[in-house]
Amino acid sequence: MNRIIRRILLVVMLSLVITSCGNKDGAGDKAAIPADKKVDYKPAYGDTIVMGSIGDISGLIPHITSDGSSQEIGSYIYNGLVRYDKNLNIEGELAESWDISEDGLKITFYLRKGVLWHDGELFTADDVLFTYKFMVDPDTPTAYAGDFLMVKSVEVKDLYTIEVTYDEPFAPALISLGIWILPKHLMEGKTLKTTSLATQPVGTGPFKFKQWLPKEKIVLVANDNYFEGRPYIDKIINRIIPDTATMFLELQSGGIDFMGLDPVQYTKQTGSAKFNEKFNKYKYLANGYTYMGFNLTNDKFKDKRVRQAIDYSINKEAIIKGVLFGLGRVATGPYKPETWFHNSAVKKYPYNPKKAKLLLAESGWKDTNDDGILDKAGKPFEFTIITNQGNDVRRKVCEIIQAQLKQVGIKVEIRIYEWATFINEFVNKKKFEALVLGWGLSRDPDAYDIWHSSKTKEGELNFVTYKNKEVDEMLEKGRTTFDQEERKKYYYKFQEILAEEVPYVFLYVAEALPVISSRFQEIEPAPSGITHNFIKWYVPKELQVYKE
């Protein structure tokens, strides 16, 4: 389920996007380590990894939580039927294999045999059925039932075979069954208040739950019977340190081994030889992008040329340099570069204020009264950008955009609102002219909820009110087709249209910047991030720190 929810998780709401620590997905790129640092070590069991996290988990049943920390802890305890491998292809986890029927309506899973729950009970198809029922139960307070309400039926064929049937083909169906499976024997007949899982989760994953001291730490220990082999590291301690400056000091003093850096820390404060001897830094593109969206019902933005002109007048490279210290990449569409569905050949809008002015003049915006601000029919070109409070990066982005648009003669005001006000009063009610916000990115290209014209009602996610028949068609076809090559065509086309029409000015994809104590070996950056082989990480005997 980690993988499912990750793809829809918002770019962290109240905290800085880039300081969130749990961002471990994405393509890897290790910062240079001198070759002479490599020593031949032997894998050994033992030691503890202490991770720093800015937020506490909100609960131990990750199916009903929506925060990144809970999902991350869940990912060590639970398994799903399928998961993404390090190259972002779907592979079996609790399912050994599966068949998809010709019409795409039925998926049959053949489960791994002999997998044990942490309490020693046997994992079977009944647990899968139970998890499905749990998710669609009206009494389960989850925001993620949507994918499962599309299921027509789930049938247990035998102990290790289960069949899921849909009313219509649904491409993201397979990965939606990466939902973490819950143990039926501990949950059945109990409510969320009475079940022991709420205080003592039991999964099939590589680590077992040991302790949760709210707002202090979470302790997990290695599962000796994990079906893919026992993890080398004995223990995970997830320490909650809400202040990033404190966390960084803890890292330097050895109090934690693993955290996410922010761009300032990455570029300015971690350069010393001493630091690089003790720690390894990594970077890879995070699963999310930041954009400026137009309210397309606003007359000012109805003309495509105006939107294109604004795109030309915003220097994305300058934004990346200014707020991310260069640790990010220009976004050209709603997908992360390096994924199979990302189309890099779409129309791009490099910084070009001259062209912007030309386009604006074409659409009737000229500075007739010489006050430095364009006008049309007596009205100056000015608008307000809104964003949420508590995100310094977004605020700075707004300020840079404000300065850059001033150059072409557009006056921009900035308003910053507390999150709940921002969403309820402005975004949901579409009371804005333009906004700066981020989307968490999916590993599946289905973007129906954000771009389809049927999703423009109040409170829905197409709050910019983008309506395009061709886009609708591409999105519909894309989510009902299983063949990857064919899907790719639809989504390529979709990206071309968006690039031409500019409903958003796509700004950047930031980089995740994890840092890990150099005593941990076998860390292997891959397109999916660095934690895909976490159970293989080890600390050689001679470097182990925590011995009990």
Nearer to another protein, 240 or 320 (CB): 240
* 495 binding another protein? (CB under 8 A): no
Query: How far is residue 345 CA from its own chain's centroid?
Result: 24
Which one of the spans 81-89, 133-141, 362-370, 485-493 is the region binding another protein (CB under 8 A)? Answer: 133-141
Q: How far is the CB of 192 from another protein (least distance, A)?
A: 6
Q: Which of 495, 489, 445 is nearest to 468 (CA)?
A: 495
3-state secondary structure labels for all residues of 43-92: CCCCCEEEEEECCCCCCCCHHHCCCHHHHHHHHHHCCCCEEECCCCCEEE
Nearer to another protein, 141 or 372 (CB): 141
Which DSSP helix (H) or strand (E) runs through 501?
Answer: helix 484-501
Q: Which of 293, 328, 319 is nearest to 307 (CA)?
A: 293
Question: What is the C-alpha separation between 183 and 181, in angstroms, rounded?
Answer: 7
Q: How far is the CB of 16 from another protein (least distance, A)?
A: 14
Give backbone dihedrals phi and psi of 376, rounded to 5 degrees, phi first: -150, 130
Binding test (CB under 8 A) with another protein, winner from 142, 200, 276, 384: 142
Site string (44-63) toward another protein, x via CB under 8 A = ----x-x-----x-xxxx--
- The footprint of another protein on residues 289-328 (CB under 8 A) is none
Measured N-to-C along each axis, helices 469-480 and 484-501 cross at an angle, to the nearest 10 degrees, of 160
| Residues 6 or more apart in contact with residue 188 via CB below 8 angstroms | 130
Nearer to another protein, 198 or 526 (CB): 198
Nearer to another protein, 67 or 511 (CB): 67
Which tokens is 469 given?
A: 């028949």
- The footprint of another protein on residues 413-432 (CB under 8 A) is 419-421, 423-425, 427
Site string (149-178) toward another protein, x via CB under 8 A = x-----------------------------
Amino acid letter, residue 303:
D
Q: How far is the CB of 380 from another protein (least distance, A)?
A: 31
* 461 binding another protein? (CB under 8 A): yes
Q: How far is the CB of 381 from another protein (least distance, A)?
A: 29
Q: Which of 258-272 are b and which e, b meaning 16 or more Cβ less than 10 Å from the residue's Cβ?
A: bbbbbbbbbeeebee
Binding test (CB under 8 A) with another protein, winner from 43, 146, 326, 364: 146
| Residues 6 or more apart in contact with residue 148 via CB below 8 angstroms | 132, 135, 136, 176, 179
Give backbone dihedrals phi and psi of 212, rounded to 5 degrees, phi first: -130, 110
* Count of residues in contact with another protein, rule CB under 8 A: 61
Q: How far is the CB of 424 from another protein (least distance, A)?
A: 5
Nearer to another protein, 439 or 537 (CB): 439
Long-range contacts of 431-434 (CB under 8 A, 24+ apart): 432/295, 432/384, 432/386, 433/294, 433/295, 433/298, 433/300, 433/301, 433/383, 433/384, 433/385, 434/292, 434/293, 434/294, 434/295, 434/301, 434/383, 434/384, 434/385, 434/386
Q: List, in sequence order, every residue forming a beta bridge with 84; answer none if it has no partner.
A: 90
Q: How far is the CB of 164 from another protein (least distance, A)?
A: 18
Nearer to another protein, 240 or 360 (CB): 240
Nearer to another protein, 158 or 425 (CB): 425
Residue labelled with tokens 């002219």: 433
* 548 binding another protein? (CB under 8 A): yes
Site string (1-40) toward another protein, x via CB under 8 A = -------x-x--xx--------------------------
Report helix, strand or coil for 294.
strand
Nearer to another protein, 61 or 502 (CB): 61
Amino acid letter, residue 57:
I
Nearer to another protein, 37 or 215 (CB): 215
Binding test (CB under 8 A) with another protein, winner from 45, 66, 227, 467: 66
- The footprint of another protein on residues 240-259 (CB under 8 A) is 240-243, 245-246, 249-250, 252-253, 255
Binding test (CB under 8 A) with another protein, winner from 19, 65, 332, 387: 65
Nearer to another protein, 37 or 457 (CB): 457
Q: Which of 325, 328, 333, 199 is nearest to 271 (CA)?
A: 325
Nearer to another protein, 87 or 424 (CB): 424
Give burial (CB, 10 Å; 0-12/13-18/19+) of 32.
exposed
* 345 binding another protein? (CB under 8 A): no
Are 530 and 536 contacting, i.e. CB atoms less than 8 angstroms apart?
no
Beta strand extents in 337-399 (DSSP E only):
375-376, 379-380, 382-388
Nearer to another protein, 115 or 393 (CB): 393
* 466 binding another protein? (CB under 8 A): no
β-pairing verdict for 95-100 and 48-53: unpaired
Binding test (CB under 8 A) with another protein, winner from 17, 218, 360, 450: 450
- The footprint of another protein on residues 208-237 (CB under 8 A) is 214-217, 237
Are 541 and 46 contacting, i.e. CB atoms less than 8 angstroms apart?
yes
Q: How far is the CB of 303 from another protein (least distance, A)?
A: 28
Q: Which of 322, 376, 380, 311 is nearest to 349 (CA)?
A: 311
Q: How far is the CB of 447 from another protein (least distance, A)?
A: 8
Nearer to another protein, 39 or 253 (CB): 253
* 449 binding another protein? (CB under 8 A): yes
Residue labelled with tokens 């900035």: 414
Binding test (CB under 8 A) with another protein, winner from 198, 318, 346, 414: 198
Catalog residues that contact another protein under the rule CB under 8 A: 8, 10, 13-14, 48, 50, 56, 58-61, 64-67, 70, 138-139, 141-147, 149, 192-193, 198, 214-217, 237, 239-243, 245-246, 249-250, 252-253, 255, 419-421, 423-425, 427, 437, 448-450, 459, 461, 546, 548
